[in-house]
Amino acid sequence: MCELLGMSFNLPVRPNVSFRGFRHRGRANPHGWGIAFYPDESAQVIKEPLEATESGLSGFLQGYEGIKSRIFIAHVRYSSVGSRTHKNTHPFSRELYGKEYVFAHNGTLGHYESLKLVRFRPIGDTDSEHAFCHLLARIEERGINDWKGQDFDWLAEKLREINRWGRFNCIFSDGEFLFCYHDRDGYNGLSFLHRRPPYGKIKLKDEDWEINLAEEKRKEQTGYIVATKPLTDENWESFKPGELIVFKDGSMVYSNLRQV
């Protein structure tokens, strides 16, 4: 089924706690794992076509202190379209208007070849990368360099158009905004958590592990975490079917289906 993880914070953070919980989801999604983040205006994408919990690299990254970013996107893959290869492993990345977009998808699109492509072309053979290249073509066609409110409304409609071809949850970013869209029929779920002070103890859902966030977080640190299913015992909230939520610097700046 694949699962998604996205994070947007007001200050650069380490992904340790969320990535530790998310990494366990690889057991049910053994065909690949990947993580993308922004050390600066460019993106770093790390991925492998194997189960996350069996990867020495993902185990290293779980506790590595050298990774910090305001935005993270991660994915564990259960392949429905495309072979189990590095080129088919999410997230995917492309440059547009001097910004590096990264993209991850959960779901299966039928007849996805009908989605129009222009100059962006898939390297692999997945419906996900094809949809990403199509979406970038539409963004380029509209000429979006700096995203504004009316562009978010337009994007929500374009994502719903892609969604007509099948099941479609996606998370993507241009390094400034984190875009998160939930399938119009509610496929597989998508939830978000507003993590903010005062911080206390939390427990992971997939591991008997507890941490006191007050010892890990700066008091002024705040942000949102998005996941296919809640990762912790905190108060997660579900996306509405067909909802696009956009985050920037740890704040929710847009939703097509709720007041922001």
Per-residue model confidence (pLDDT) at position 210: 87
11/28 Cα distance (integer angstroms) = 32
Per-residue model confidence (pLDDT) at position 219: 84
- 210-212 vs 251-255, strand pairing mode: unpaired
Assigned domain for 260 exists: no
Indicate whether 230 pLDDT > 90.
yes
- Which is catalytic among the residues 2, 133, 170, 180? 2
152/246 Cα distance (integer angstroms) = 8
The helix (run of H) or strand (run of E) holding residue 21 is: helix 16-23
pLDDT mean over 82-111: 96
Query: Amino acid identity of 257?
Result: L
Per-residue model confidence (pLDDT) at position 209: 86
Angle, helix 127-142 to helix 149-163, in steps of 10 degrees: 150
Model confidence at 95, in pLDDT bands (50, 70, 90)? very high
pLDDT mean over 85-103: 98
19/35 Cα distance (integer angstroms) = 9
Assigned domain for 33 exists: yes
pLDDT mean over 236-259: 98
Assigned domain for 175 exists: yes
57/48 Cα distance (integer angstroms) = 9
Q: Which residue has the tokens 């600066």?
A: 40
Does residue 226 contact residue 192 with C-beta atoms inside 8 Å?
Answer: yes
Assigned domain for 36 exists: yes
How many folded domains does the chain comprise?
Answer: 1
Model confidence at 115, in pLDDT bands (50, 70, 90)? very high
Average pLDDT score over the chain: 94
Assigned domain for 239 exists: yes
141-200 pLDDT, tens digit per residue, is 999 999 999 999 999 999 999 999 999 999 999 999 999 999 999 999 999 999 999 999
Per-residue model confidence (pLDDT) at position 208: 80
Per-residue model confidence (pLDDT) at position 7: 98
Per-residue model confidence (pLDDT) at position 12: 95
Assigned domain for 125 exists: yes
Rounded to whole angstroms, what are the CA distances from 15 to 2, 8, 35, 131, 184? 19, 11, 10, 27, 29
190/107 Cα distance (integer angstroms) = 12
- List the CATH number of the domain containing 120: 3.60.20.10
33-76 pLDDT, tens digit per residue, is 999 999 999 999 999 999 999 999 999 998 888 899 999 999 99
What domain range is 245 assigned to? Answer: 3-255
DSSP single-letter state for residue 240: P
| Omega before 91 within 30 of 0, i.e. cis | yes
183/109 Cα distance (integer angstroms) = 11
Assigned domain for 58 exists: yes
| Omega before 198 within 30 of 0, i.e. cis | yes
Query: Is 180 a catalytic site residue?
Result: no
Model confidence at 81, in pLDDT bands (50, 70, 90)? confident
Indicate whether 83 pLDDT > 80.
yes
